[in-house]
A and B are shown apart, each in its own frame.
Chain A
């Protein structure tokens, strides 16, 4: 079992839809949780990060962490065609190198 599981999709939605992306993890020692967006043949771009449990909102994006269930989510409201990309969840332990452990990534297409 991989430390971080993410359904790779693909997911296709109409413009304006609410998108829900999720990851589960097995190691309860993870403390920091991130979401990255990656366009084709580009490097990942940091969207949001959250420490421990709770919610964080930034514009149309909301990140949620439920440490008791080892489950994290990213919601995108009023999705736009420009949101079409691969979304990667990533996690990190506190201390040490803080290296990131990534999920596989979910490919999202928002259709106009």
Chain B
């Protein structure tokens, strides 16, 4: 399967713990996006990478959130000191410069903060 993959698929953590999620985009895609989706809502943009450069961050991305994309390949999203309000599906998407508006999503990581 050459689609976008995410790991883990599910994560249950206690409030105050740190969590890290990984996204592997489609191999030739240089653009990578993170979105967050809560129940009954559409995904909301968090941040965007072009190759290894993080070029845009949403105001939703508080200072407890950090994302990286070393070497322009996979990306990680870390949440420090998790809060119950962080419970959501975290989605990763990728696209290429030839198909900018065709973003392909991974299966998501479902986070539950207890």
Contacts and interface: CB of A to CB of B under 8 A. Distances in A.
Interface residues of A, number: 27
Given A44-B91, A92-B101, A101 B108 contact: no
Contact-residue size bin, chain B (C-beta under 8 Å from the other chain): 20 to 34
A68 interface: no
Interface in A65-112: 88, 90, 92, 96-105
Contacts of B43: 44, 88, 100, 102
Contacts of B108: 41-43
Contacts of A41: 108, 110
A43 B106 contact: yes
B45 A99 contact: yes
A91 B55 CA distance: 19
B105 A98 contact: no
Nearest to A92: B101
A46 B110 contact: no
A92 B95 CA distance: 13
A43 B91 contact: yes
Contacts of B45: 99-101
Contacts of B93: 100
Interface of A: 4, 6, 8, 32, 34, 36, 41-46, 49, 51, 88, 90, 92, 96-105
Interface of B: 4, 6, 31, 33, 35, 40-45, 48, 55-56, 91, 93, 95, 100-108, 110
Given A46-B105, A102-B44, 6 more contacts: A4-B42, A43-B107, A88-B43, A97-B55, A98-B101, A99-B48
